[in-house]
Amino acid sequence: MYKTLEDIRIARQIISPPGDTLAETLSAKGINQPSLALRMGRPVKTINEIIKGKAAIMPETAIQLERVLGIEAAFWLEREKNYRLELAQLDEAELLLNTKDWVDNFPLSAMKNLNWINYEDDILSKAAALYSFFGVSGQDPYYNYYHNNVYETAYRMSKSSGKDPYAVSAWLKQGEHQAEKISTGNYEVQKFKSALHEIKSIMAQQPADFFTLLQSICSSCGVKVVHTPCLPKTNLHGSTRWINDKPLIQLSNLYNRNDIFWFTFFHEAGHIIKHGKKEVFVEGFEYSPEALIKENEADDFAIKFTLSKEQEAEIAATLPLTQNSILGFAAKFNTHPALIVGRFARSNNELYALGWTYNFFQSINLGEE
């Protein structure tokens, strides 16, 4: 493994072209270049360029060398192939060593700790790990495919919102890696709409295996749901996009709060039902006026499923809230108590002073994926 540009410079001096073997063979047989050229019917210049490694040994040339020198054509072709491969590897290594600035854009340590990538402590290994993770051959293809194509909207919004676009792209890509492991049938919109009511009950009851149940129900409707822990400088809750005509909901469980987790899920579900397949929705960014309209629509969808405005008004009429009243309203409206606490805590700071309210916020740790 080449770790410095000096390593590569030395390797280029050492690497031996097949012309070296040809020159040694000619010397051993007492044949000079002009004589070989005449016997092969080739220009002397061509023979000289092959010996210097400037011209490649092609199949026709290899056959001629076999006839004249008695060394099989396959040998010359294999020697040429190995030499050209070594040159390409050196070129690739030099290119990778010049990608340090690009590599340093990514939160590599966090990605490694989450077992998303693995690398040694050198720039070549790090760059190769990133290329493999994103499925690209270099940094230019990364920009052209992800920043200018697949995640164009998210990349633009992450810059304007202060979030790191490279970390965001890594988070989104990891969600796609996770989604590849989930098998689903075709997306069925009516089935998904009906399933959301069943999911609402899971939200209210929140059994220990709630996330497994959530994934299973959504998969049966053709919707993939994954949990992807946040990376530094992302600070986002969820995303929705379509991959191969199947919707993907990616959740971060940021802050480990029940109210945020479930509101985000239904918000992303709203994007699936209400909006197009071509857009990438990443919750938590600053939005253009057009995007803000769709975000508000997704918010309204989530509000109706988690705690409607009518239900909120009914609760508000009974203030101040107690632990028992919150639990009672949660049971009545088939929602999680955290949704009630979270909704009213925004306008009633006194709730934050009540220590027991935080028990409602705490969600089950989904672990790291």
Which of 48-57, 67-76, 93-102, 104-113 has the weakest average pLDDT? 93-102
Confidence of residue 367 (pLDDT cuts 50, 70, 90): low
What pLDDT is attached to residue 45?
A: 95
How wide is the angle at C-alpha 132 spanned by C-alphas 7 and 103, nearest 5°?
A: 60
Q: Which residue type does 168 have?
A: V
Section 153-160 average pLDDT: 77
> pTM for this structure?
0.75
**SS3 per-residue string spanning 12-39:** HHHCCCHHHHHHHHHHHHCCCHHHHHHH
Q: State pLDDT tens for residues 316-349.
A: 898 888 888 989 999 999 999 989 988 887 655 5
For 8-25, write each residue's pLDDT tens digit. 889 998 999 999 999 999
Give the three-class secondary structure for 360: helix
Residue 118, judged by CB atoms within 10 A of its CB (0-12, 13-18, 19+), counts as: exposed
Computed over every residue of the chain, the mean pLDDT equals: 89
Domain 5-97 has CATH 1.10.260.40: yes
Lowest mean pLDDT among 89-93, 121-125, 223-227, 361-365: 361-365
Residues of the chain with CATH 1.10.260.40: 5-97
- 224-227 vs 246-251, strand pairing mode: parallel
